[in-house]
Amino acid sequence: MNIIPKAKNFKENGNIEISAEFSADERLIFCKKAFLRMVSKLYGVRLTDGDDGIKLVYDEALDKDEYAIKGASVYASDYEGARYGLATMLQLMEKTEDGFTVCDTEIKDSPDKDFRAFMTDLAREWHDFDNLISYVDLCYLNKMKYLQLHFTDDQSWTLPLACFPKAATRGRCYKRSEIDYLVEYAYESGIELVPEFEGIGHSKELIKNCPDEFGNVYDEEIEDSSVENSVEAGKVGRVDNIMCIGKPDIFENIRRMLSEIAEIFKYSKYIHVGCDEAKHENWNHCALCRDYMARQNLESTKATYSHFVKKIIDICLSLGKTPIVWEGFPYEGTENISRDAVVISWENIYQSGPELIESGFNVINASWSPMYIVPLRKEPIKTICKWSVISKNWRVHQVQHHWNASKAYGGLELTPREKVLGGMLCQWECKMEEERDRVILNLPQVSDRTWNAEDFYSGEEFESAKEKIIALSEKLI
């Protein structure tokens, strides 16, 4: 019997039979609801209160986020540890006629990295609300801690906000009641949501729906081609998807949005504010932006881009949330941006992971290869993106890219290691049926390699270790 992620200390003794019962120490009782829900979904059994089944035991000797298992008892000193121990128990159980067989183990385990995440793009392709619930469950099973929701982009705006109701894409926006339900559901499950409002660039839909508040007023018509994918990143195009920095109330309007997002996602530590791939040269073609740059003594659109990023980050910090941004803002002006912001290293073209760390940022490793799940619709992406995390030997302390224009082509080490908060598997541009199987297969690999920075499964070991979690995942989504 092997579990995912690989446990740091694991000993197997055989099997024990237990009843379909559950008991928990009062100090950890909060974890009961989500666990019972998962047992019900995975095994079709509703556990009843009783001492002859799985026990959740408080053990103050265990560290924060740590758990231990002995037989059918899970030990922890906090909710995080308890949740991880219970998630492991889901893999050790087998249903019998009148209860469960549990693999009798001795485990003591804790994660190496805090930011173990999955991100799903909800703006390029519509995802039914039920899919979001399934992803919370999948994160629970894989002991991931964060689920990032990419709510907004050029193609649609899916996050309902009372402060800008007209921002929402008609027929492609979640209901506020659904989001409220999701927030509570994730909280009970111990999964922290990271809401993403993609700011500055990637704002075509917002600008279309709220032109007076966010749109540039160009001197001449701007070519309205669609946004190129990341292979084209770095090119400056005349794509009208960038917010106007010269609008009189632009920062007040962004503050209103972020305030409401902070209020809705009340349990979340982080808000992702986007900030990548902004076609900043467009600001030269808008009189309002030219005036703003002159008033602020901003000498270039690159410096203006960093200025805009700094402003958004500062708003987020003033609301008591930690901002996350994509790598993509220019080097010029970076010195003014708060180092309390966390940067996701993905393309390693604009500023590489090592460069971002060197300049004082904490980073999250979402390096394109192999952490991006994208549609396999045409070559060369079709071939390139079939790889798995294991086949690329991805590690949380190394960024990689298949493209030789990236500084991470061939791999780059990330040091010092404490500046790497973790890693994130990202689903981009896929329809649910395109991403489903790849998420199910890749999530356990990313789980293993963010939980364990060094001692993770090899490809061969993973083949047998994955069987149970893959079978369970199939029932959740």
The answer to whether 216 touches 286, Cβ cutoff 8 Å, is yes
Name the DSSP class of 71. Answer: T
- Minimum distance of Zn ion from residue 211's CB (angstroms): 11
Identify which range of 112-120, 125-133, 210-218, 350-358 contacts Zn ion by CB under 5 A. 210-218
- Out of 89, 92, 194, 289, the residue judged to bind Zn ion by CB under 5 A: 289
- 288 binds Zn ion per the rule CB under 5 A: yes
- 293 binds Zn ion per the rule CB under 5 A: no
Of 12, 134, 33, the residue nearest 86 (C-alpha):
33
Instruction: Name the residue nearer to Zn ion (CB basis): 299 or 358.
Output: 299
Number of residues this chain uses to bind Zn ion (CB under 5 A)? 6
Instruction: Name the residue nearer to Zn ion (CB basis): 288 or 425.
Output: 288
The answer to whether 361 touches 352, Cβ cutoff 8 Å, is no
- 216 binds Zn ion per the rule CB under 5 A: yes
Which residues between 233 and 252 bind Zn ion (CB under 5 A)? Answer: 244, 246
- Minimum distance of Zn ion from residue 216's CB (angstroms): 4
- 286 binds Zn ion per the rule CB under 5 A: yes
Of 95, 107, 119, the residue nearest 69 (C-alpha):
107
The number of CA neighbours under 13 Å toward the Cβ of 171 is 2
CA–CA separation, 137 and 37 (whole Å):
9
Q: Is residue 247 helix, strand or coil?
A: coil
- Minimum distance of Zn ion from residue 246's CB (angstroms): 4
- Minimum distance of Zn ion from residue 280's CB (angstroms): 11
Identify which range of 193-201, 208-216, 252-260, 356-364 contacts Zn ion by CB under 5 A. 208-216
Exposed e or buried b per residue across 243-264, where buried means at least 16 C-beta atoms within 10 angstroms of its C-beta: bbbbbeebeebbbbbbbbbbeb
Instruction: Name the residue nearer to Zn ion (CB basis): 145 or 310.
Output: 310
Name the DSSP class of 161. Answer: -
Of 321, 435, 450, 439, the residue nearest 398 (C-alpha):
450
Rounded alpha-carbon distances, angstroms, from residue 393 to 11, 225, 276, 307: 26, 37, 27, 37
Identify which range of 178-186, 213-221, 358-366, 388-396 contacts Zn ion by CB under 5 A. 213-221
Identify which range of 5-13, 223-231, 279-287, 362-370 contacts Zn ion by CB under 5 A. 279-287
CA–CA separation, 186 and 175 (whole Å):
17
- 278 binds Zn ion per the rule CB under 5 A: no
Instruction: Name the residue nearer to Zn ion (CB basis): 216 or 306.
Output: 216
Which residues between 407 and 426 bind Zn ion (CB under 5 A)? Answer: none
Name the DSSP class of 409. Answer: B
- Minimum distance of Zn ion from residue 353's CB (angstroms): 32
- Minimum distance of Zn ion from residue 276's CB (angstroms): 19
Instruction: Name the residue nearer to Zn ion (CB basis): 16 or 287.
Output: 287
Note the residues at the interface with Zn ion (CB under 5 A): 216, 244, 246, 286, 288-289
